[in-house]
Amino acid sequence: MTNSIQILKIYPESFKANLYSNDPFRMIGLIDVSIEYKYGIERVILPYYRSSGTNNGKVKGLWYPIAGIKTRAGKFVEFTEYLNFVLTNTTKRGEAKKGWLAKSLFFLNKYKDNFKIRGFSDGIHHEMLLETGEFLRNLYEEDRFYKMHSLNARQLNLIVTSKEIYQNNRHSQRENFEKFIEDIFNGN
């Protein structure tokens, strides 16, 4: 079965980032992409993070996708109903600490293919998520991004789950983001 959901374009001028933590060093960022769905092409905001660490096979300086950031310790209750379901079912014990970057969805399988870099899903979206992360690394290293000084976990979550329908879209940011996450979840 071929996938009808795919990232078609990255909008470099939309890249925004903010320092999330110093120890360990982490940046969080948002990037607009065009995604093709069965119902048409929509512009969607995706969240990513950059870490200085290389644990779990991470590549230093690379930007990795996240579904959001945990705003309270314990079970997943702060996201949308669907995102809470996905994160509960992809996270060890179905809960996490406050401040945890919700990335478990992208680390699901054992990566049978040795050529895949962990953290970008094990499914059909791996290449485009990785390409976006590499693109963001280049933009960041070239200082070609808008520095946000007020982006925090709550704001990032609200942005990616907004009920707003952006210009030229027919569906809300939330609907488009959840549909993309669903495709990743079902494709892993």
Q: What domain range is 22 assigned to?
A: 6-187
- pLDDT for 145 equals 95
Q: Is 61 inside any structural domain?
A: yes
- Model's pTM, two decimal places? 0.93
- pLDDT for 113 equals 56
Enumerate helices (H) and strands (E) in the chain, giving the number of each.
Answer: 4, 7
Q: Is 1 inside any structural domain?
A: no
- pLDDT for 56 equals 66
* Total domains present in the chain: 1
Q: Is 129 inside any structural domain?
A: yes
100 in Cβ contact with 72 (< 8 Å): no
Instruction: Give the C-alpha separation, 181 to 176, whole Å.
Output: 9
Low-confidence ranges of the chain (pLDDT < 50): 1
- pLDDT for 108 equals 65
Query: Per-residue pLDDT tens for 26-72?
Result: 899 999 999 999 999 999 999 999 977 666 667 888 999 999 999 99
Q: Is 38 inside any structural domain?
A: yes
